[in-house]
Structure 1
Amino acid sequence: MAQPRIHVAAGFAPGGDLVLPEGPARHLALVLRLREGAAVTLFDGQGREAEARIVEAGRKRVVVRIEAVAEGRGESPLAVHLGQAISKGERMDYAIQKAVELGVAAITPLYTEHGDVRLKGDRAAKKLAHWQAVAASACEQCGRAVVPPVHPPLALADWLAGRDEALRLVLHPATSGALEAREAPADAALLIGPEGGLAEAEVAAAREAGFLPLSLGPRILRTETAPVVALSLLQYRFGDFA
C-alpha cells in the first residue's frame, strides 16, 4: 500500500508531536487500520509537507511525530483561475476534483443564465465546505501540497469584473488560435459555461472583459468534461505537461 498523504491544516515542527483532527484520525485508524510505527505524509494545504510516524493509534485519538519538514512539490508554473458554472451533484464534484489534479490555482463556482442551481444560506455554506473538501481530497491523491481555494459562488458578471489575468479564455465555438503564437503567461482565467451553454450576452460580456474564445473541437463536451480538456491543453502549452 502506498504511504498515505493526509491534509492537516496545522504547523509542522520537526521532532514535535501532533494530535490529528477527528477526520484524518478516523481515516488512518479505522479505515486504513494503521498502527503505531506506520509512516504517513502530512501536508498543510499552504505548500509544506511533513514526513511523520504514528506514535499513538486509538479509536478516538491518533498522534503522529513529525520527522522532517520540506516544501511540497507539484505546483504548476501557470496559475489558472477556473470560473466553472455550477452543475448538479457529482458533476460539479468531478469538475473540481479533476481541475485540482490538473494544477488549477483557484476555482470560483458561477451562477449563469442557463444554469439551474441556486444556493442560499446554510445550503450554500454546506456546499462550499463540501467543494473545498473535494479539492483537499484531490490534493491528497495527486501529490499537491497546496489546496486551491474554492471561492464562494458569484454571478458571472461579478467574476468577470475581477479578472486581470494575462490570458483569459472562454470556451465557445470559434476559429481563432487562442493558444497559438503566445509567450507563456504567468496566469490565466478559464471560463466554463453550464450544460446548456453560455447565453450570447454572457459570451459578449466575457469578450468585453478581454476573454478570447477557445474551441475544443467539433464535439460538444459536457460541462464537467470541458475543464479537463481545456486545462490539459493549457498545461501542455504553457504549464508543466511539456
Structure 2
Amino acid sequence: MRIPRIFTTQQLTPSSELLLEKEAGNHVSRVLRMTVGQQLELFNGDGNSYFCNILSVERNQVSVHIVESKSSNNESPLNIHLYQGVSRGDKMELTLQKGVELGVKQFTPLITERCGVKLDDKRWQKKHEHWQKVIESACEQCGRNTIPILHPVIKLQAALTHLNANSFFMHPEAKTGFKSISANIDSEIQLWVGPEGGFSDEEISSVTAHGCNPVQLGPRVLRTETAALAAVAVMNSVWGDF
C-alpha cells in the first residue's frame, strides 16, 4: 500500500517530532482517517522525502515522529517554463496539474487579448493562491519533491521582455515541429501558449518580432490545455526523459 504524501511548509528534521500544520493535520485525520502508528511521507520542497510515524491524532491536530529522510531526484532534465494564456473554468487547473506531472519547472499565467477571465488585483491574488495549492497537490500525487515556481499573472506585452533564444509558441499554421528543432536543453526552454481562441494576429506578430519560434503539433487545431500538455510531452520525448 502506498504511503500517503503530504506537502508542508514546515522545516523537517530527521529524528525529531513535529505537530503538523492545521490544514495538513485536518487532511490526515479527517480525509485520510489515519491513525496512530501509521506511516506518512512529508516533503517541503527541499528535494527530500521525510518518512514519519504518526504519534497522536486529536481532531485536526496530528503529531509525527520523523524517522528518516531520503533524497530523490525525479525531476525532468528539461527546464521548461510554461507561459500559459489564462483559460476559463477548470482548464487552467488541469494545465497546471498535468504540467507538474510532466515535469514543468515554472509557470507564468498570461493575460492576453482573448483571455476570458477578467479579475481585479485582489481576486487575481486569490486565484494565484488557489493555483499554488493545485501545484502542491499535484506534487503530492506524482512524487516530485521540488515545487515548481508559479509566477504572478502578467500581461503578454510585459512578459515578452522575458523571451530568450530558447522560446517557442504554439501556432497551428507553423511549418516546423519539435522533431526538426535543436533546442539548448542546458538553458531554460520557454513554451508560450495562448488561451481559448489562441493569440490574436497582432499578438502573433509581436511574439514573432521578439524572436519566439512558431511550432505546431500536426494538422489539427488543439484546445489550449491540450496544446500545452502535448507540447511538453513531445519536448520530453524528443529532448528529455521519456
SS in 1 for 2:180: coil
Residue of structure 2 in register with 1:52 after alignment: 52
Residue of structure 1 in register with 2:215 after alignment: 214
Residue of structure 2 in register with 1:116 after alignment: 116
CA positional deviation for 1:179: 4.0
Residue of structure 2 in register with 1:169 after alignment: 168
Residue of structure 2 in register with 1:36 after alignment: 36
**CA separation of 1:89 and 1:225: change in aligned 2, threshold 3 A:** same
**CA separation of 1:178 and 1:60: change in aligned 2, threshold 3 A:** closer
Contact 1:178 1:213 in 2 (8 A): no
CA positional deviation for 1:122: 2.1
Residue of structure 2 in register with 1:15 after alignment: 15
Q: Distance in 2 between matches of 1:192 and 1:238?
A: 19
SS in 1 for 2:149: coil
CA positional deviation for 1:59: 0.6
Q: Distance in 2 between matches of 1:120 and 1:17?
A: 42
The answer to which of 229-238 and 42-51 deviates more is: 42-51
Contact 1:38 1:53 in 2 (8 A): yes
Q: Distance in 2 between matches of 1:16 and 1:211?
A: 50
Cα-Cα RMSD? 1.4
Q: Distance in 2 between matches of 1:78 and 1:63?
A: 37
**CA separation of 1:114 and 1:120: change in aligned 2, threshold 3 A:** same
**CA separation of 1:154 and 1:45: change in aligned 2, threshold 3 A:** same
Q: Deviations over 1:169-203 (max 9, x none)?
A: 10002112444252552220000101111011211
CA positional deviation for 1:67: 0.9
CA positional deviation for 1:48: 2.2
SS in 2 for 1:74: coil
Question: Which stretches in structure 2 are left out of the alignment for 5+ residues?
Answer: none
Residue of structure 2 in register with 1:25 after alignment: 25
CA positional deviation for 1:70: 2.6
Q: Deviations over 1:80-108 (max 9, x none)?
A: 11000001121111011011110001101
Q: Distance in 2 between matches of 1:200 and 1:179?
A: 26
Q: Distance in 2 between matches of 1:103 and 1:51?
A: 23
Residue of structure 2 in register with 1:4 after alignment: 4
SS in 2 for 1:225: helix
Residue of structure 2 in register with 1:85 after alignment: 85
Q: Deviations over 1:101-128 (max 9, x none)?
A: 1000110110001111122232111100
Q: Distance in 2 between matches of 1:201 and 1:3?
A: 50
Q: Distance in 2 between matches of 1:54 and 1:159?
A: 45
Contact 2:178 2:235 in 1 (8 A): no
Question: Which stretches in structure 1 are left out of the alignment for 5+ residues?
Answer: none
SS in 2 for 1:224: helix
Q: Distance in 2 between matches of 1:199 and 1:181?
A: 25
Contact 1:91 1:224 in 2 (8 A): yes
**Matched positions, count:** 240
Q: Percent identity?
A: 38
CA positional deviation for 1:51: 1.0
CA positional deviation for 1:71: 2.3
**CA separation of 1:181 and 1:225: change in aligned 2, threshold 3 A:** closer
